[in-house]
Amino acid sequence: MKIILISFFILISPQISAHECILQGTSAKEITIYNACKADSKKQVHSTNLNNSLLKVKIKELKSENKNLKNQLLDLKIRLNSLLQRVDSYLN
């Protein structure tokens, strides 16, 4: 299930790049620089999207865990109050 979610986030994430590769000329050196730039930018975008997707999934899991822990704490408070009332009734 996690793999499906991660894949979904990767596919819908917009591909944003902070750097734009521009071909400056037609020499072999400039074309090589341009191609290297394009390859690097694709790697960075994929890595960033994957990290963001993983973080979103992790945040969702942590929120769920937090909700469960709050419910457990509330249940414990109710049980302790009930126990305290029983002890008070025996003392009185």
The whole-number pLDDT of residue 75 equals 96
Query: What is the model's pLDDT at position 16?
Result: 46
24 or 17, which is more confident: 24
**Rg of the Cα trace of the chain?**
27
Report pLDDT for 34.
82
Neighbours of 49 (CB within 10 A): 19
Q: In this predicted model, which residue has the larger pLDDT, 81 or 16?
A: 81
- Per-residue model confidence as pLDDT tens digits over 56-78: 999 999 999 999 999 999 999 99
Question: Dihedral, CA atoms, 66, 67, 70, 72, nearest 10 degrees?
Answer: -110
Q: Distance (Å, rounded) from C-alpha 50 to C-alpha 72? A: 33
Residue range 24-47, pLDDT digits in tens: 888 888 888 888 888 887 777 666
